[in-house]
Chain A
């Protein structure tokens, strides 16, 4: 009987202390999670190779080239989006990303103008006269 009493007492004590220990640790675990979450949303930027001045220049060049392509009615479909993304990245201090996007936007408009110059010389090859070999 005494044996049963002591063993149930030990069991109660185990449950009690066991639970209380768990309760103590719970807030700490939540805190750690919170900390890691904050670290996720606000990542520290790796050191940027590009400078703000470089990005600004690349953006100005990209915008000027895009306007030139637009004026000639040959601009590509998403170039303006790349320029907007580059500006957005620059405002966040992501200079490397912004520089890459601005350079891509410049390249697109440049290609659009070059291809248009080429198409200006070749479009007649697609006419029925050219396909059938009829002389104008």
Chain B
């Protein structure tokens, strides 16, 4: 009897140990991503702690008079979700004026109507998503399909599964529905996970594509939005990477409509002088995955207005 008890105790202890080891191993998939996220936060907190004192290091091409007059500092971590408005007074004032009558409201209303309109088979988006307030669950890595799934893709896959044609980027219906979903998801926290080795590889590819220079200008996304963030580009200020995804889809004044992150990323890629990749391509989805991971813990605040 004692022998039996002893044996089962050993087996239980062994299996517990194995389970713990497996859990530990599972959690390690985001080890590098966590290091990156913390370094990103450190970088921005330091950069915007005192731009005037640190101008030589972080803002070598910004007029110190501009910093003295217009920069707001120090910037709190959660304020990076506000984009340029977090640290630049003129933009903060302009966006505050836009917020009085947001230009995206009509699109969001139309998005709600599209959301509620049944498909030809009688089902609606609710049957796919359960609720429109699900943006905190995207993007995610699908371990069965071994790919990153973005919200744009999920909307289109829901349509196809219900016998409808997928939406095309730029025709606005997709953007309107996501605008409505974003509005319903406001306040939820970004919580991107890296559940497998393949997910960690996708994250790494996304990270590399974000930092890697390309095109005939030999530029990268990071050159403007990490090292260059806070500096000027023509009459505008370059936004920070940290917190940048919280307000998507954005109503871009230049385009006079809502834009999804996929469209902005494709545009950014093209601005380097490289051939524009297709929206929802693996490269762009993986950059999105990386960017959302960097903003883990930030509250969603989309849609919002940007210049």
Chain A residues with CB under 8 Å of chain B are 70, 73-77, 79-80, 108, 111-112, 115-116, 119-120, 122-124, 126-129, 131-132, 134, 136
Contact = CB atoms under 8 A, between A and B. Distances in A.
Contact of A128 (B39, B274, B283): B39
Nearest to B277: A73
B46 interface: yes
The binding surface of chain A is classed by DSSP as helix
29 contacts: A75-B274, A76-B215, A76-B274, A77-B273, A77-B274, A77-B276, A108-B216, A111-B216, A115-B213, A116-B212, A119-B213, A119-B214, A123-B208, A123-B212, A126-B211, A126-B222, A126-B223, A127-B39, A127-B226, A128-B36, A128-B40, A128-B226, A129-B35, A129-B36, A131-B43, A134-B39, A134-B42, A136-B32, A136-B35
Contacts of B201: none
B275 A76 contact: yes
Given A77-B275, A123-B211, A131 B216 contact: no
Given A77-B274, A126-B226, A136-B35, A119 B212 contact: yes
A73 to B, nearest CB: 6
Q: Count chain A CB atoms within 10 A of each CB in B40, B213, B222, B273 and give the residue with the most.
A: B213
Contacts of B223: 126
A123 to B, nearest CB: 4
Interface in B109-159: none
Contacts of B40: 128
Contacts of B222: 126-127
- Which 10 A-B residue pairings sit nearest by Cβ, starting from the closest? A128-B43, A123-B212, A123-B211, A75-B275, A128-B39, A119-B213, A129-B39, A126-B211, A126-B222, A119-B212
- Size category of the binding interface on chain B: 20 to 34
A92 to B, nearest CB: 26
A34 to B, nearest CB: 45
Q: Which of B40, B46, B214, B273 has the most CB of A within 10 A?
A: B214
Contacts of A108: 216
A115 B218 contact: yes
A73 B46 contact: no
A129 B213 CA distance: 17
B227 interface: yes
Interface string B35-51: 11001101100100000
Contact of B39 (A75, A112, A132): A132
Nearest to A118: B213
Contacts of B277: 73
A122 B220 CA distance: 11
Contacts of A129: 35-36, 39
B226 A132 contact: no
B270 interface: yes
A121 B158 CA distance: 40
B226 A124 contact: no
A101 to B, nearest CB: 16
A131 B220 CA distance: 15
A79 B42 CA distance: 40
A80 B108 CA distance: 38
